[in-house]
Chains A and B, each alone.
Chain A
Amino acid sequence: DAGVTQTPRHEVAEKGQTIILKCEPVSGHNDLFWYRQTKIQGLELLSYFRSKSLMEDGGAFKDRFKAEMLNSSFSTLKIQPTEPKDSAVYLCASSLGGGLYEQYFGPGTRLTVL
């Protein structure tokens, strides 16, 4: 089975631009997570979907970050407008659901905002 796919792997944006990151979860998984990863903060949860319904939308990230699940096999994370402090690795993960199953992570998208 294919793992979690994320595109693009690298993204460079100018301050103020809109960027869209994409994620395809493992087939059959019901839960999907978006994280931001930095050396200082580690893994920060941005959004959590269960069966396409938004369960949690990280409070500190609500203003400019919007995650959507267009269908059970595709999700996007939009950052609008981007700021230099958004430079980080964005990770997508999926899980079977039902209670404390392993999260499978994608390779991440490295975003650089100039």
Chain B
Amino acid sequence: GDSVTQTEGPVTLSEGTSLTVNCSYETKQYPTLFWYVQYPGEGPQLLFKVPKANEKGSNRGFEATYNKEATSFHLQKASVQESDSAVYYCALGVNSAGNKLTFGIGTRVLVRP
């Protein structure tokens, strides 16, 4: 079946430093890839999605490139802020599954001022 593996957290870093959260996926189909973010006390919300291989998605300074050859979709931000502290989920969806998504386990990111 489909699966998503991402960086084990928590990831702790200081404001102004760069962030990378690794995400690798497995599927026999052609996926659309997603990054979701969850702030304390809220449900996850979409950060961005990328439906096509070798394209980049971005939002709020975060970006990720859908690398089909490496089956990866790593999340990056050049300079994090304290407000970026959250749990980040990588997910994949395939057409045969309708709108069902396969989520990674989530990576908690803590940004210290």
Q: Which A residues have a C-beta under 8 Å from some C-beta of B?
A: 4, 31, 33, 41-43, 45, 48, 50, 55-56, 91, 93, 95, 97-108
Q: Which B residues have a C-beta under 8 Å from some C-beta of A?
A: 32, 41-46, 49, 51, 89, 93, 95, 98-101, 103-106
Is A107 touching B98 in the complex (CB atoms < 8 A)? no
Is A102 touching B41 in the complex (CB atoms < 8 A)? no
B residues less than 8 Å from A43 (CB atoms): 44, 89, 103, 106
Interface SS of B by simple majority? loop
CB distance from A90 to the nearest CB of B (A): 11
Is B99 touching A103 in the complex (CB atoms < 8 A)? yes
Is B43 touching A97 in the complex (CB atoms < 8 A)? no
List of 9 A-B pairs having minimum Cβ-Cβ separation, nearest first? A105-B43, A42-B105, A43-B103, A95-B99, A102-B46, A100-B93, A31-B99, A100-B32, A42-B106
B103 touches which of A42, A95, A104 (Cβ 8 Å)? A42
Is A93 touching B98 in the complex (CB atoms < 8 A)? no
A107/B103 contact (C-beta < 8 A), A48-B98, A100-B51 known: no
Is B44 touching A99 in the complex (CB atoms < 8 A)? no
B43 touches which of A42, A50, A91, A95 (Cβ 8 Å)? A91
Task: List 29 contacting pairs A-B, 8 Å CB cutoff, sorted by A.
Answer: A4-B43, A31-B99, A33-B100, A42-B105, A43-B103, A48-B98, A50-B98, A50-B99, A55-B98, A56-B100, A91-B44, A93-B43, A95-B99, A97-B98, A97-B99, A98-B99, A99-B95, A99-B98, A100-B32, A100-B93, A100-B95, A102-B49, A103-B99, A104-B45, A105-B42, A105-B44, A105-B45, A107-B41, A107-B42
